Structure 1
């Protein structure tokens, strides 16, 4: 049973890493140039929107963190600090999920304003002019949400590992010694 859980966690981490890297690539390599007026061109990149830069940093960091967690399986050793490492792993998994989800949700909000505009703020509909850019960012948002869901599932597995250590049977057995 424990082997199946570990194998499932590795599978989820690999898929999450691939989706996070795909998100980063979709954001970084997304540019579009449009002629605004006669010979004046406007080029839009991820550097024009601050939340896209933040999403790039967060998704890259989360992919790197998940890669480090995968390395944990190749050099795992049973030691007295196992309980501490399981707690730290749960905490870091939670932080990665919440940061990724929050950043992606902020980007989704900015994308809604870019798509619909806002008359109250006098913001124009940007996606009418830069449709390919907006479509590629929408793909990045979708990939990052799926990665967030997968990382939430990984966090559930981490919580299971923590609370498994506090089972009543194990506590009673340790107390009896």
Structure 2
């Protein structure tokens, strides 16, 4: 299998993962953003939304921004395939690598903050006088829990994307030796 064929498979895999990540992040943002539940507690209508927990709100914005970034990268990947030539510039792969790393870390950090805050809501905290919400707002809690799981899945896939962009970057520095077994190596 030739070098161009391997790179085509790598590009196809990257496009599939980027599209999956964008869809999962959009699903996560929609699950959090459109989630609300209203209960009547002592003749008072209490409505809970994602805005009650700032970490959920920030996580939703991070997920939406990361989904937009992955769609932009998917467009750039499509543009690069249409040109049918790789750029000779080293700056573009470095920029993609740094942006992929930043997006992966931001999604992971936002998800961890939302998960930690959600766990506090599920369990409650006597020291902070924070009551358990999930006994009253079960649908809200299940939907946020599903969104957090989806966001962790997207963070794992974004880690894979940052590894792919690292491969694309570092293969420019030593194409004959970096994870590409040439026929001269296998014949000796």
Shared topology, TM-score over 0.5?
yes
1:15 aligns to what? 20
Of 92, 98, 109, 1:102 maps to 109
The structure, 1 or 2, with the larger RCO (C-alpha pairs under 8 Å, 6+ apart) is 1
Distance of 1:97 and 1:79 partners within structure 2: 24
Distance of 2:55 and 2:64 partners within structure 1: 14
- After superposing the two structures, state which structure 1 stretch, 155-164 or 68-77, moved more: 68-77
Secondary structure in structure 1 of the residue aligned to 2:163: helix
CA drift at 1:155:
0.5
Cα distance per residue 1:147-174 (max 9 Å; x no partner): 111110010000001111111748xxxx
Of 43, 54, 58, 2:58 maps to 54
Of 161, 164, 172, 1:165 maps to 172
RMSD over aligned CA atoms reads 1.3
1:70 lines up with 2:70 in the alignment: no
Alignment of 1:95-134 (within 5 A): 95-134=102-141
Distance of 1:41 and 1:153 partners within structure 2: 45
1:147 lines up with 2:158 in the alignment: no
Of 14, 28, 37, 2:33 maps to 28
Cα distance per residue 1:128-151 (max 9 Å; x no partner): 111110100000001110011111
CA drift at 1:121:
1.6
**Greater helix proportion:** 1
1:88 lines up with 2:95 in the alignment: yes
Provide TM-score, normalisation by structure 2: 0.86
Distance of 1:13 and 1:169 partners within structure 2: 27
Distance of 1:143 and 1:93 partners within structure 2: 19
Provide TM-score, normalisation by structure 1: 0.91
Query: Structure 2 regions of 5+ residues with no counterpart?
Result: 1-5, 178-188
